[in-house]
């Protein structure tokens, strides 16, 4: 467990260190990163996948052919013999186990999945940034007492990092009870230590920069230096990590829903819940499980490809 935690810390600290370095030619970090992203096939594929996902999630629910919760074909279901109408003209993906249009539910479920991923990531980003920002400012600018504050906060963060992410999410969800809000909070808590340690490492690297020394020499107070100078210049790796966290958030939210800790409202489709409901009918209608599983995998792949490409674009060893 200690070795795994150490690897997590090293990976996060490495990203913070890379993003803190300046380009010797004076080219903006993001300008150079964008140039490299445009030439990266993985980044292009990831961006296309995410573009399609966002389009479906935002616009799709207004264009679905049937209400996602309407059991319009319930009379055609033969549960006793395992018969569920498959793909046809009026139901492109067939119908589910209680007669609802599977295509409409997949489209509407994309919005629900996006909502869970974005909100949970924002929760982790907000809380983690507060912890990491305080720790980074304390360690880089706070002197002896600042280092003590940083040490206390980082031991709490290390404790969270030491726990497997899914186990931590399940523990939080079990304490709060099943529900959509619970899933968002549980998945958000998992990403808090990642964002906290990443921002802290980036701020400590920035604290030794020339502009911080210049501001200090001019008599600018340390809290103002931290908020107006150090934090804005330390956000690049955090933004990259947010893209990667969206991928894991979608997977972890689907896992919690699969375990019965997700949304209890059956009228609101969500890919993880759809996957869980389909387990009883794998022999009769495997498509009911394959479709949401593929959607989860492809969406997470899109976020991962783009996030990893952004991480590589920020690496000064690869920048020319």
Q: How far apart are CA 187 and CA 237, in angstroms?
A: 20
Q: How far apart are CA 286 and CA 297, in angstroms?
A: 16
Which domains are assigned to the chain? 29-54 (no CATH), 113-270 (1.10.3720.10)
Predicted confidence at residue 25, as pLDDT, reads 47
Which is nearest to 258 in space by CA: 244, 271, 242? Answer: 271
- Strand ranges (E), the chain: none
Predicted confidence at residue 299, as pLDDT, reads 92
Structure tokens at 33: 């990163």
Predicted confidence at residue 126, as pLDDT, reads 93
3-state secondary structure of 179: coil
3-state secondary structure of 78: strand
Structure tokens at 79: 């549960």
Predicted confidence at residue 316, as pLDDT, reads 54
DSSP state of 279: G
Sign of CA dihedral 230, 117, 8, 240: negative
> pLDDT per position in the chain (320 positions), as tens?
556 566 666 666 655 555 555 444 445 666 777 787 888 888 899 999 999 999 999 998 888 888 888 888 888 888 777 788 888 888 899 898 888 999 999 999 998 888 888 999 999 999 999 998 888 888 877 777 888 888 899 889 888 888 888 888 888 888 888 788 888 999 999 999 999 999 888 888 887 777 777 877 878 787 787 787 788 878 878 888 888 888 888 888 888 888 888 777 777 888 888 888 888 888 888 898 999 999 999 999 999 998 888 877 776 555 55
Q: Are 199 and 132 in contact (CB under 8 A)?
A: yes
Residue with tokens 């209680």: 98
Q: How far apart are CA 299 and CA 23, in angstroms?
A: 33
Tens of pLDDT, residue by residue over 268-289, are 888 888 888 888 888 888 898 9
State which H helix or E strand residue 274 sits in: helix 271-277
3-state secondary structure of 266: coil
Tens of pLDDT, residue by residue over 200-226, are 888 888 877 777 778 778 787 877 877
DSSP state of 66: S
Residue with tokens 């809290």: 223
């Amino acid at each position: 467990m200690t070795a795994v935690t150490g690897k997590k810390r090293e990976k996060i600290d490495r990203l913070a260190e890379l993003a803190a370095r300046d380009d010797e030619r004076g080219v903006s970090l993001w300008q150079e990163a964008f140039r490299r992203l445009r030439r990266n096939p993985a980044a292009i594929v990831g961006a296309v996948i995410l573009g399609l996902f966002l389009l479906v999630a935002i616009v799709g629910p207004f264009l679905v052919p049937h209400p996602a919760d309407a059991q319009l074909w319930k009379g055609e279901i033969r549960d006793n013999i395992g018969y569920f109408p498959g793909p046809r003209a009026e139901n492109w993906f067939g119908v589910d186990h209680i007669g609802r249009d599977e295509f409409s539910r997949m489209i509407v479920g994309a919005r629900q999945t996006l909502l869970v991923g974005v909100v949970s990531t924002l929760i982790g980003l907000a809380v983690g940034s507060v912890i990491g920002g305080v720790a980074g400012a304390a360690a880089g600018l706070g002197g002896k007492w600042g280092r003590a504050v940083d040490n206390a906060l980082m031991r709490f963060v290390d404790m969270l990092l030491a726990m497997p992410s899914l186990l931590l999410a399940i523990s939080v969800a079990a304490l709060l009870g099943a529900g959509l809000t619970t899933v968002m909070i549980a998945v958000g808590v998992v990403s808090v230590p990642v964002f906290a340690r990443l921002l802290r490492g980036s701020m400590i690297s920035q604290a030794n920069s020339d502009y911080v020394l210049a501001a200090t020499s001019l008599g600018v107070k340390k809290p103002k230096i931290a908020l107006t100078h150090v934090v804005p210049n330390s956000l690049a790796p955090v933004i990259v990590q947010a893209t990667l966290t969206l991928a894991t958030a979608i997977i972890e939210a689907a896992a919690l829903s699969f375990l019965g800790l997700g949304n209890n409202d059956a009228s609101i489709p969500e890919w993880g819940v759809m996957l869980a409901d389909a387990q009883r009918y794998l022999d009769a209608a495997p498509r009911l499980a394959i479709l949401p599983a593929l959607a989860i995998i492809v969406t997470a792949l899109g976020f991962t490809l783009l996030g990893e490409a952004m991480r590589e674009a920020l690496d000064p060893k690869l920048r020319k």
